[in-house]
Amino acid sequence: MPFVLLHVDDCRAPFNFVTWHPHNIGEISNPPIIAFLHGSAERGDNRGLPVKGVEEVLDEYQLPAVVVFPQCEREYRAFYGEMEERVVHAVRKGIEEFNADASRVYLAGFSMGGSSALWLMARHRELFAAVVCIAPGITWIGAEPPPKMPDEAKPLFESMFVAYDRPKAIAREIGTTPIWFLQGTYDEPCPIDETRAVIHEMHQLGRYPRVTEWEGLGHETLTLALREHGLFDWMFEHRK
């Protein structure tokens, strides 16, 4: 499969990350970019882990796009702080390397990555044209604050993932970027009732995201979500 390892050095903490592109990338002028945010089990420094579960779908579909896979270090529990910066830098590097279309940058995340996608939407509304949010959680687990969370970001994080009315805060902060939620109804690690609460609050603001629920399924819905009929067609029709 056409995976390429890229390096970013024009940031506080230089890093490597994996990218994917279709076999015919040379025939695609200004391809779109998808930033994929992995789950918590794929944190670390093994650059192959973030593509786990995604590579088979990419190989099968040969999407006319470039996919970047920034990886979260184990010291972090989501893509915030320097890990948040990694996502933005990976997107910019992908645009530069593949002459990609900056108006067609998309975000997809699963589990921890789905929660992080909500965070990135709130922090970088201007960047993403559409977002796919798979099995997200919106409750910070544990009494300790997120390790290495920048002080300036703490109040927003508290409102979105800790406070009692966090669904309302999330709906307010993520703005009007088109979003598609996909989740199993028996998702124990990330209860679907919390996702439904966010969707309800979005409705109160006059925003109506796309929603797919799988009755009786649990948390492991990544490849099922990526194969959802019309998902990528929906994604690619949006521009900033």
Contact 134, 221 (CB under 8 A): yes
Dihedral of the CA atoms 126, 149, 225, 59 (nearest 10)? 80
CA-to-CA distance for 89 and 143, rounded, in angstroms?
A: 31
Q: Are strands 15-20 and 3-8 parallel, antiparallel or unpaired?
A: antiparallel
**Cα 26–chain centre separation:** 26
CA-to-CA distance for 83 and 79, rounded, in angstroms?
A: 5
CATH of the domain at 206: 3.40.50.1820
Q: Considering its fold, how many domains does the chain have in total?
A: 1
pLDDT in tens, the chain (240 residues): 578 888 898 777 789 999 999 999 999 999 999 999 999 999 999 988 999 889 999 999 999 999 999 999 999 999 999 999 999 999 999 999 999 999 999 999 999 999 999 999 999 999 999 999 999 999 998 878 898 999 999 999 999 999 999 999 999 999 999 999 999 999 999 999 999 999 999 999 999 999 999 999 999 999 999 999 999 999 999 999
Contact 177, 125 (CB under 8 A): yes
Domain coverage including residue 181: 3-236
Residue written as token pair 């990976």: 90
